[in-house]
């Protein structure tokens, strides 16, 4: 079975790591474990989990520190982060949430509740990316079937073209800076030349045959019907 989502779980207590990790896997999640803060940070960058669970008291870096660091990176600005801890005082709780975490859960915690909360978080965050069908004017972009159609006439786009169009058409009118486009379509790892975007834009314009992508010189591109 396809895993529902990839979860990184960081705790320095092996017992907890085992028990909760096991239960998460039983729930259908793919689990990556880390024993300390530094490792949690490094493994996150490598594996790009869909959700991150951080214990606070860990060697090398606390969960809060890791959370702050991750939130600096564009790739992790929206990743749901759960702080899991034995500390239950008000100050820690607030500090945890203010560091950009989405949930703060005090141990001991029933595994069922933990999983339920994780489901709730993923339900919300995956819903956002789940806008599977975009409709604007005569255009329909179906992200499930990978099809773009104009007045019921199907247009076939390549993968990158499709992703680029989906990004722009996903928020019509809004201008996307070139580096936003790069990081969203190509990711931050890959480095591609500047002309690459133009060329893809050109192909899209050509294939669509209509002028719905506007250039804002010196800034970026935007979709406009």
Which residues in this chain contact DNA in the complex, by CB under 7 A?
A: 156, 158-161, 178, 186, 190-196, 198-202, 205, 215-220
Q: Could you tell which of its own copies, DNA, none binds residue 102, using a CB distance below 5 to 8 A set by kind?
A: its own copies
d(C-alpha 12, C-alpha 34), whole Å:
8
Query: Does residue 149 contact residue 140 with C-beta atoms inside 8 Å?
Result: yes
Contacting residue, 11, 69, 104, 164, with its own copies by CB under 8 A = 104
Q: Could you tell which of DNA, its own copies, none binds residue 117, using a CB distance below 5 to 8 A set by kind?
A: its own copies
Beta bridge partners of 81: 52
- Closest CB 1 distance from DNA, rounded Å: 22
Query: Does residue 118 contact residue 82 with C-beta atoms inside 8 Å?
Result: yes
The reply to whether 116 sits near its own copies by the rule CB under 8 A is yes
Helix (H, G, I), strand (E, B) or coil at 11: coil
Task: Identify which of residues 82 and 169 has a Cβ nearer to DNA in the complex.
Answer: 169
Token output for 119: 């489901």
The binding track of 121-150 with respect to its own copies, each residue x by CB under 8 A or -, is x-xxx-x----------------xxx----
- The string over 170-207, giving b where at least 16 C-beta atoms fall within 10 Å of a residue's C-beta and e elsewhere, is beeeeebeeeebbebbbeeeeeeeeeebeebbeebeee
Task: Identify which of residues 117 and 160 has a Cβ nearer to DNA in the complex.
Answer: 160
d(C-alpha 183, C-alpha 93), whole Å:
32
The reply to whether 110 sits near its own copies by the rule CB under 8 A is yes
The binding track of 157-176 with respect to its own copies, each residue x by CB under 8 A or -, is -xx-------------xxx-
């Amino acid at each position: 079975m396809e895993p529902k989502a990839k979860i990184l779980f960081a705790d320095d207590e092996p017992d907890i790591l085992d028990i909760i990790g096991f239960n998460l896997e039983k729930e259908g999640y793919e689990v990556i474990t880390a024993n300390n803060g530094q490792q949690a940070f490094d493994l996150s960058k490598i594996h790009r989990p869909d959700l991150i669970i951080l214990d606070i008291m860990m060697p090398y870096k606390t969960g809060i520190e890791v959370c702050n660091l991750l939130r600096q990176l564009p790739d992790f600005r929206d990743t749901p982060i759960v702080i899991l801890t034995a500390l239950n005082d008000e100050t820690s709780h607030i500090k945890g949430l203010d560091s950009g975490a989405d949930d703060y859960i005090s141990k001991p915690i029933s595994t069922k509740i933990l999983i339920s909360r994780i489901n709730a978080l993923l339900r919300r965050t995956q819903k956002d990316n789940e806008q599977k069908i975009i409709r604007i004017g005569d255009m329909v972009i179906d992200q499930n079937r990978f099809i773009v159609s104009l007045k019921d006439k199907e247009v076939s786009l390549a993968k990158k073209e499709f992703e680029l169009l989906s990004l722009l058409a996903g928020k019509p009118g809004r201008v996307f800076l070139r580096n936003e486009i790069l990081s969203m379509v190509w990711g931050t790892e890959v480095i591609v030349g500047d002309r690459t975007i133009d060329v893809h834009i050109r192909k899209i314009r050509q294939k669509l045959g209509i002028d719905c992508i506007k250039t804002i010189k010196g800034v970026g591109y935007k979709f406009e019907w």
